Amino acid sequence: MDKLLIRSNVRKLRFEHHEMTQQQLAEKVGVTRQTIVAIEKEKYSPSLELAFRIALVFNSPLEEVFFIGKKEASI
């Protein structure tokens, strides 16, 4: 099955929300700053719960925060 690449608008949404820092977002959703960095760099796809928490902070629908990018190599 092809691996899906989960992309995110977290960085863009942070700047649109009074230039929220990574640390501020991390505290609001209950993770470390390192995890926000990993999500923004697309090195980590968050759990469904964390994805919803982030979407709630930005008051946006989930698909506006996370979306499927181009397909990667087969697994």
The residues that touch another protein, with contacts defined as CB under 8 A, are 30-35, 37-38, 41-47, 50
Closest approach of another protein to the CB of residue 26, in Å: 9
Torsion of CA 43, 44, 50, 52, to 10 degrees: 70
Find out whether 71 and 40 touch, Cβ atoms under 8 Å.
no
Closest approach of another protein to the CB of residue 38, in Å: 6
- Residue number with CB closer to another protein (46 or 58): 46
- Residue number with CB closer to another protein (13 or 51): 51
